[in-house]
Structure 1
């Protein structure tokens, strides 16, 4: 008799009424303070930890996607830059590049205490524009979001996502 030992990873894809991310008004927060108002800027806070912010900022030739901590001094401290990947359930759960206007929520696993996000360092994604990581960051993780693609030609190969806290992603990225 063979015994089966496996790892069960519970992935929570939130219904529309229980999102983990909430949009921040474009005239508030990071986007409200951005010097260049011609840049694209989107910001979300994490409902489970409102001081954690996800920001997409940039131009047609490159948008930087990063997590930040909003400090009590009302300043933003960079946590990690990421590659956003969205799972689009309307397209057989295919994976696509996560443009900011397509992102609706972040995928996460139910962990003990803090949320653990689904991410992977095992990918072939790369920057195709004017985007740069902080000097300490040597690797950029792909992070899984939930959304509806408006760019169906911008597919991403299937990835093996693992649950990780932001602090674990930062450490694995070189920080």
Structure 2
């Protein structure tokens, strides 16, 4: 892994590095998920391939809610062992392959980040570069601004794949 650059806020640090988030050592790995009880591609597939419990618990959690929309803005923490968790953030109601549709809800993404900031103050956090921007078609400029706005006082590492 190589460091790209650092941004220091309030004594904590947001670091940008090149590396594989699946090999990270942080306490929390954050990923955006849809609310349709479908997990099958992108980073989600890589995560559940390494930690199958993430997909199992995601399905159980989705089934607890009456409608998919009821999941929006929620954060589900799934233990992957050794005191580490995957945080599934529900900021995407639907999914699809239409490149002209932004599936990321920035307002719900913001709600999820606020929740993480409140709950994970003493934890280290790994976030994939481009979260909510790949298959979900969000804009990284908006997403990264929200990350810096809400998580600037936490220890965060943003991973960019090589």
Quick check: TM above 0.5?
no
Going by fraction, where is helix more abundant, 1 or 2? 2
TM-score, structure 2 length as denominator?
0.30
Higher relative contact order (CA 8 A, sep 6+): 2
Largest Rg, 1 or 2: 1
TM-score, structure 1 length as denominator?
0.29
Going by fraction, where is strand more abundant, 1 or 2? 1
